[in-house]
Amino acid sequence: MSTGFDDSFPDLGSMSDDELKRLIAELTDEERQVSYRRRTMHGKIDILRAELVNRLRTRREEGESALTGADVDQLTEILLGKLPPLSWDPPR
């Protein structure tokens, strides 16, 4: 029986009730860990963004340009769709 998941997903029909319960518990725990990691990363991203905003605000208040030439170049590349693909390869 094909489950429509990936090849590592077990044949559910051949599993006992106890095996199913154990797998549910394992996957629930793994999902909880992933969720915690995601929330932690979002918190760090928020802190970093707030720091960047504060720095840009300070530069502007001191009469400096908030954006550099490199920022404009990168924005241009984004808008033209010329940025290379992300180097991050999601786990499988």
Look at residue 86 in the predicted model and tell me its pLDDT.
Answer: 62
Q: Which residues neighbour 13 within 8 Å (Cβ) at sequence distance 6 or greater?
A: 1
Contacts of 83 (CB under 8 A, 6+ apart): 74, 77
Q: What angle do CA 16, 35, 49 make, to 5 degrees?
A: 165
Note whether residue 52 is domain-resident: yes
Is the model's pLDDT at 1 over the cut of 50? no
Q: State yes or no: pLDDT of 6 exceeds 90.
A: no
Domain membership of residue 60 (yes or no) is yes
- pLDDT tens by residue, 41-90: 999 999 999 998 998 899 889 988 877 888 888 888 888 887 666 665 55
d(CA 31, CA 9) in angstroms, rounded, equals: 16
Structural domain including 50 reads 12-80
Whether 2 is in a domain gets the answer: no
| Residue 77 C-alpha from the chain's centroid | 22
